[in-house]
Amino acid sequence: MKFFIDTANLDQIKEAKDLGILDGVTTNPSLMAKEGITGKENIYRHYHKICELVKGDVSAEVISTDYKGMMKEAKELAEIAENIVVKVPMIKDGIKAIAELKSLEIKTNCTLVFSAGQAILVAKAGATYISPFIGRIDDTSWDGMQLISDIFEIYSLQAYETEILAASIRSGLHIVEAAKAGADVVTCPLDAILSLLKHPLTDIGLQKFLDDHKKAQAALSKS
């Protein structure tokens, strides 16, 4: 399973990259706004910086919601760097744009997916990635992870090539469950990635190893 970081924050991207496990980045207009990046030029410059930092796929989302506008933006975004993946919303014009972008060999990530039916259309259109939003489904008291399992089953049976990118990840447990459900990629906030490092028995065990080593060294220097 590939690990992407879900942020537009350059420091967090660097931190995840330094761990040596980062395969890519996803962003969205909310995440760009959170970093205070506004205006097309600044936004595109920021995508360029991310693409220089990370050689894997970097998702950059269109703002237009009509076919023509999305196609224009998608082509402009794709010009920024070779590793740009154009993020397109799961709407009628979005599906049409994804199909056309596939024929132009521009990679796409279909975002805001909440049902298995939507997932079938996304795969038929030929998206590179599909982003089902796990956490937001959980927020409505439905089972977000079940959607990953359902899409995995359908895509496996139908031999669809679109990669399942589990998004709206909120915790380390979500990451583990997404891996079990067959996600190809998980995109996570840095906190969720770092939470995978933690286990109290690791800390206790390491402390004991170090204490025992220290005791043995002290005994050796006394003898």
User: Strand, coil or helix: what is 141?
Assistant: coil
Helices 116-125 and 144-158: angle between axes, nearest 10 degrees:
40
Q: Which is nearer to ligand G3P, 103 or 141 (CB)?
A: 141
Q: Is 87 annotated as catalytic? A: yes
φ, ψ dihedrals at 31, nearest 5°: -70, -35
Q: Measure the CA–CA gap between 117 and 162, rounded to whole angstroms.
A: 14
Is the distance from CB of 60 to CB of 84 less than 8 angstroms?
A: yes
Sole binder of ligand G3P in the list 119, 127, 145, 167 (CB under 6 A): 167
Between 179 and 208, how does the x/- string for binding to ligand G3P read (CB under 6 A)?
A: --------x---------------------
Q: Which is nearer to ligand G3P, 96 or 170 (CB)?
A: 170
User: Helix and strand tally (H, E) in the chain?
Assistant: 11, 8
CB of 6 to ligand G3P, least distance (A): 5
168 binds ligand G3P (CB under 6 A): yes
Half-sphere exposure of 98 (CA within 13 A, CB side): 27
Q: Measure the CA–CA gap between 214 and 132, rounded to whole angstroms.
A: 50
Is the distance from CB of 20 to CB of 40 less than 8 angstroms?
A: no
Between 123 and 162, how does the x/- string for binding to ligand G3P read (CB under 6 A)?
A: --------x-x-xx--------------------------
Sole binder of ligand G3P in the list 12, 26, 108, 149 (CB under 6 A): 26
28 binds ligand G3P (CB under 6 A): yes
Q: Which is nearer to ligand G3P, 149 or 187 (CB)?
A: 187
φ, ψ dihedrals at 167, nearest 5°: -120, 175
Of 17, 34, 40, 87, which residue is the catalytic one?
A: 87
Among residue numbers 41 through 100, which ones bind ligand G3P (CB under 6 A)? none
- Catalytically active residues are 87
Instruction: Return residues touching ligand G3P (CB under 6 A).
Output: 6, 26, 28, 131, 133, 135-136, 167-168, 187
